[in-house]
Amino acid sequence: MGAKYESKTTKPSPQLLKPERSDSMKVGASQLRQRAMRFLLPLLLLISSGLAADRPNVVVILSDDFGWGSSGCYGADPALVQTPNIDRIAKEGRRFTDGNTTSSVCSPTRYAMLTGRYCWRTSLISEVLSTVAPLHIETTRLTIASMLKSQGYNCAAVGKWHLGYGTAERCDFTKELKPGPLEVGFDYHFGVPSNHGDITGSYVENHWVYGLNKDSPSSPSPPYVTMSEKKGKPAKMLELNAPKRIDDEVMATLTDKIVNWIGQQSAEKPFFVYFTPVGVHNPITPSKQTAGKSKGGPFCDFISDLDISVGRVLDALDKQGLAKNTLVLFSSDNGGVNKPENATLVQNEAQKAGLKPTGPFRGGKHDVWEGGFRVPYIVRWPGHVPAGTVCDETVSIVDTIASLAAITGYKLPKADVAAEDSHDVSKAWLGEKYEGPLRPDVIVHSADGNFAIRKGAWKWIEGVPADDVKPTAKKAHADQFKRQLYDLKYDIAEVTDVSAQNPDVVKDLEKLLIRYRDGGYSRELPPADAKPKPAFAELPPLKNAKPLDLKTFSGKGWAARDDAMFCKADAKGLPFSGPVKMQDGALEFQIRLGEADRHSLRIHTADNAHSFRVVLSHAFMEIAKNPDKSEAADKTVPLGKTRVKFKASDWQTMRLTFHGDELTVEFAGTTTKAKHAVLAETKAQLNFIAFEGEIGIKQCVLAR
């Protein structure tokens, strides 16, 4: 029997406080616990399912080079191309007319999508990452995947990655590709390393090239027939003993992978899908299912492949009964290709037929014009996002992480720590009421590193290319490299520069852009007096250093000026040469690269037997052994390479430290290491060589 307790005013006896435990009482307690669990378990499941319902599954479909006007719901001519599945997302969700990417090329936008941070804040200040680049996202940085994973989500990244693998400056695809997507929050990865048709010719699954023969990873390397080869042009590919991609089957293969992964998910645990199909990036390779079907030619056929992939993802959600609680975001990494002057582009056949891939906007991929950034942007979440609606709110790809944080109840770190440039636009997604614009302005960045900022109807273009842009690109895009202002309310095609009539607007936007750049974030307004953090610490003083007498050096075109030696050279290069005698020790000098293409420090050993070079460009530091006199010119041996970011107009310190057969080059906060027998030999001659522009050298010292 259970204990009988007195009222609170009566003191219970010790026996009542500690009743004797009989076997029958133990059984009774056990039964009570079992009954309690039978009652509590459904309640806990109900609570947890309620919490799961508040946190939707998330499917991001980020297409490639898919312009604003390339789908039916954005006005594409149905006689040329039909996109019923993309249109379905718009019909069942909300279509945005002012969806923007952060860059007019892919890698920077993909970085911004996952991190909520503008990519130009990193070392990548123009163009895209190479196929062999290291992982560009720091493994300690918050990403959509790591944020959602911390909330119990399963996370998969399937499709084009193009954010690098590993830590080496040149990724070795015959080895484990770590860190990679799995180290920034994803549980599963299957993808194309960089671009459709890239030099790997292979897929990557998790940490390895898919199907790689690890016992003999390089040989034999099955052929990968690229579009270039089909046109009779040789293509240099990586030697990988792994199954090769078949270009017109890549879309289907990637879609199979993500559909199968979705098929393994359930309503009991939320999931995040980052699906990045290769359509519609060059090479244009429509599948056998779509080839020849469109009046717009192969490009429109390829758009159909993209739409089919979207449809299969939507069908997979329906089949699993997950569509109702899944938020789908469809967009693109940059604007469409819009180069009608380039007769070799397949896209032009579609444009001649009447397709307007960038809609009413000027320019396209690579450009600073609106056509490079305006993209389809459609959100669906049944019961939450108002179906069949259109929104004119300005939103950006970079806003994804902050918006998902708001929806899932995740508190973001401070703006100077993570998601620095991501604004919460979830109210626009959900059709909720709000006052004023959700993001006060937006910064965009062209392939050439040219900044522009939009605020309201105004768009101001800074007109300054990144330091590492080649002279040929500067010439080709000269119309973009000047300060200009447009009123997009009345001039969406950016025809008339109105900067002269609105000097105060120009001044305000210029100050705002600089404030955001120097402040390190734009999710909040940085202090007015914000100064950029030092990009790197100064090198400690070199001990026992003695000046190198540059008066003993000579070189055509080199002349003294302001305690330094300067030279303006052409593409052939002009050397400034002189003797030196050192084995182990350090060589340090100041260099101002300016607008020159590159500087090469070529070092010869005794009797000119061998030589090696240390090359500084605006993007990279590279070390290589030069071919010996008896060797062919193509026998250069790469020894080290590091991406660098620095202000080329300022004097920078470069330090080379030799120790045996090892060389360490320190420059602008980076360290590049090399190891080779030639580095251990006595160094007898230095050659400072300028290429394509003016370079300055000063304060050269030796510490033996």
pLDDT digits (tens, 9 = 90+) for 231-254: 556 678 999 999 999 999 999 999
Is there a contact between 357 and 67 (Cβ–Cβ < 8 Å)? Answer: yes
| DSSP assignment letter at 626 | P
Hey, what amino acid is at 372? G
Task: Determine what percent of the chain is predicted with pLDDT higher than 90.
Answer: 85
Given pLDDT bands bounded at 50, 70 and 90, which one contains residue 22? very low
Cβ neighbours, 10 Å, residue 630: 6
- Residue 654 token pair: 């470069």
* Higher per-residue pLDDT: 533 or 613: 613
Q: Is 193 in the same domain as 254?
A: yes
Question: How many residues in total does the chain contain?
Answer: 704
Q: Is the residue at 236 inside a domain?
A: no
Q: Is the residue at 375 inside a domain?
A: yes
Question: Which whole number is the average pLDDT over 261-267?
Answer: 97
Residue after which a domain boundary falls, among 19, 38, 54? 54
Residues 6+ apart with CB under 8 A from 294: 80, 81, 300, 301, 303, 304
Task: Give the C-alpha separation, 448 to 465, whole Å.
Answer: 5
Question: Which whole number is the average pLDDT over 10-34?
Answer: 40
Question: Which whole number is the average pLDDT over 134-151?
Answer: 98
Residues 6+ apart with CB under 8 A from 355: 69, 70, 76, 77, 80, 81, 296, 299, 300
Q: E strands of 585-692, at which residues?
A: 585-592, 598-605, 611-617, 620-625, 637-643, 652-659, 662-667, 670-675, 683-691
Given pLDDT bands bounded at 50, 70 and 90, which one contains residue 471? confident
Residue 49 has pLDDT above 80, yes or no: no
Is there a contact between 639 and 624 (Cβ–Cβ < 8 Å)? Answer: yes
Q: Is the residue at 135 inside a domain?
A: yes
Residue 139 has pLDDT above 80, yes or no: yes
Question: Beta strand 574-582 with 585-592: parallel, antiparallel or unpaired?
Answer: unpaired
Residue 366 has pLDDT above 50, yes or no: yes
Distances (CA, A) of 622 to 549, 571, 598, 700: 26, 18, 11, 20
Question: Which whole number is the average pLDDT over 638-643?
Answer: 94
Q: Is 334 in the same domain as 368?
A: yes
* Higher per-residue pLDDT: 119 or 4: 119
Residues 6+ apart with CB under 8 A from 160: 64, 106, 191, 192, 194, 195, 196, 276, 277, 278, 281
Residue after which a domain boundary falls, among 500, 519, 538? 519
* Residue 454 host element (H or E): strand 451-455
| DSSP assignment letter at 138 | -
What pLDDT does residue 24 have? 41
Task: Give the C-alpha separation, 118 to 522, whole Å.
Answer: 9
What pLDDT does residue 428 have? 98
Q: Is the residue at 536 inside a domain?
A: no
User: What is the 3-state secondary structure of 553-590?
Assistant: CECCCEEEECCEEEEEECCCCEEEEEEEEECCEEEEEE
What pLDDT does residue 105 have? 98
- Residue 558 token pair: 């080199």
pLDDT 10s digits, 611-629: 999 999 999 999 999 999 8
Give the CA dihedral 467, 472, 474, 476, nearest 10 degrees. Answer: -160
Q: What angle do CA 20, 21, 27 make, to 5 degrees?
A: 155
Is there a contact between 85 and 308 (Cβ–Cβ < 8 Å)? Answer: yes
CATH code assigned at 175 = 3.40.720.10
Task: Give the C-alpha separation, 611 to 686, whole Å.
Answer: 10
Task: Give the C-alpha separation, 548 to 590, whole Å.
Answer: 12
Alpha carbon 388 to its chain's center: 32
Number of domains in the chain: 3
Q: Is 272 in the same domain as 389?
A: yes
Residue after which a domain boundary falls, among 39, 54, 69? 54
Q: Domain range holding 374?
A: 55-214+242-519
Q: Is 421 in the same domain as 491?
A: yes
Question: Which whole number is the average pLDDT over 503-521?
Answer: 97
Q: What angle do CA 600, 605, 607 make, to 5 degrees?
A: 125
Q: Is 513 in the same domain as 653?
A: no
Task: Give the C-alpha separation, 445 to 108, whole Å.
Answer: 9
Question: Which whole number is the average pLDDT over 202-217?
Answer: 98
* Residue 254 host element (H or E): helix 250-263
Is there a contact between 486 and 499 (Cβ–Cβ < 8 Å)? Answer: no
Task: Give the C-alpha separation, 235 to 224, whole Å.
Answer: 9
Residue 14 has pLDDT above 80, yes or no: no
Is there a contact between 41 and 284 (Cβ–Cβ < 8 Å)? Answer: no
Name the burial class of residue 351, with classes exposed (0-12), middle (13-18) and buried (19+) by CB atoms within 10 angstroms of its CB: buried
Task: Give the C-alpha separation, 329 to 333, whole Å.
Answer: 13
pLDDT-wise least confident of 6-20, 206-220, 309-323? 6-20
Q: Is 322 in the same domain as 266?
A: yes
What pLDDT does residue 225 have? 78
What pLDDT does residue 234 have? 64
Given pLDDT bands bounded at 50, 70 and 90, which one contains residue 48? very low
Q: Is 491 in the same domain as 557?
A: no
Given pLDDT bands bounded at 50, 70 and 90, which one contains residue 531? confident
CATH code assigned at 692 = 2.60.120.560
H-state helical runs in 354-502: 400-408, 426-430, 471-476
pLDDT 10s digits, 578-599: 999 999 999 999 999 998 999 9
Q: Is 449 in the same domain as 578?
A: no
Task: Give the C-alpha separation, 516 to 509, whole Å.
Answer: 11
Q: Is the residue at 221 inside a domain?
A: no
Question: Which whole number is the average pLDDT over 158-168?
Answer: 97
Given pLDDT bands bounded at 50, 70 and 90, which one contains residue 290? very high
Residue 512 has pLDDT above 60, yes or no: yes
Q: What angle do CA 664, 665, 668 make, to 5 degrees?
A: 140
Question: Which whole number is the average pLDDT over 514-534?
Answer: 93
Is there a contact between 294 and 77 (Cβ–Cβ < 8 Å)? Answer: no
Q: Is the residue at 499 inside a domain?
A: yes
Task: Determine what percent of the chain is predicted with pLDDT higher than 70.
Answer: 91
- Residue 129 token pair: 């990452």
Distances (CA, A) of 90 to 79, 83, 93, 206, 377: 20, 11, 5, 33, 9
Q: Is 462 in the same domain as 361?
A: yes
What pLDDT does residue 458 have? 98
Residue 445 has pLDDT above 50, yes or no: yes
Q: Is the residue at 231 inside a domain?
A: no
What pLDDT does residue 273 have? 98
Handedness of CA 696, 698, 702, 703 (dihedral sign): negative
Q: Is the residue at 234 inside a domain?
A: no
Average pLDDT value over all residues in the chain = 91
pLDDT 10s digits, 59-111: 999 999 999 999 999 999 999 999 999 999 999 999 999 999 999 999 999 99
Q: Is 636 in the same domain as 556?
A: yes
Residue for token pair 């996002």: 385
Q: Tell me the three state secondary structure of residue 103.
A: strand
pLDDT 10s digits, 553-577: 999 999 999 999 999 999 999 999 9
What pLDDT does residue 633 have? 87
Residue 648 has pLDDT above 70, yes or no: yes
Q: What are the two backbone dihedrals, phi and then psi, of residue 436, each rounded to the nearest 5 degrees? A: 70, 175
Task: Give the C-alpha separation, 335 to 332, whole Å.
Answer: 7
Q: Is 156 in the same domain as 294?
A: yes
Question: Which whole number is the average pLDDT over 351-372?
Answer: 97
Task: Give the C-alpha separation, 612 to 601, whole Å.
Answer: 8
**Quick one: which of 371, 397, 571, 395 has its CA closest to 480?**
371
Question: Beta strand 99-100 with 395-396: parallel, antiparallel or unpaired?
Answer: parallel
Is there a contact between 574 and 596 (Cβ–Cβ < 8 Å)? Answer: no
Given pLDDT bands bounded at 50, 70 and 90, which one contains residue 11? very low
| DSSP assignment letter at 656 | E
Task: Give the C-alpha separation, 675 to 322, whole Å.
Answer: 55
Question: Which whole number is the average pLDDT over 319-343?
Answer: 97
Count Cα atoms within 13 angstroms, Cβ side, for 612. Answer: 25
pTM of the complete model beyond 0.85: yes
What pLDDT does residue 535 have? 81
Q: Is 653 in the same domain as 566?
A: yes
Given pLDDT bands bounded at 50, 70 and 90, which one contains residue 21? very low
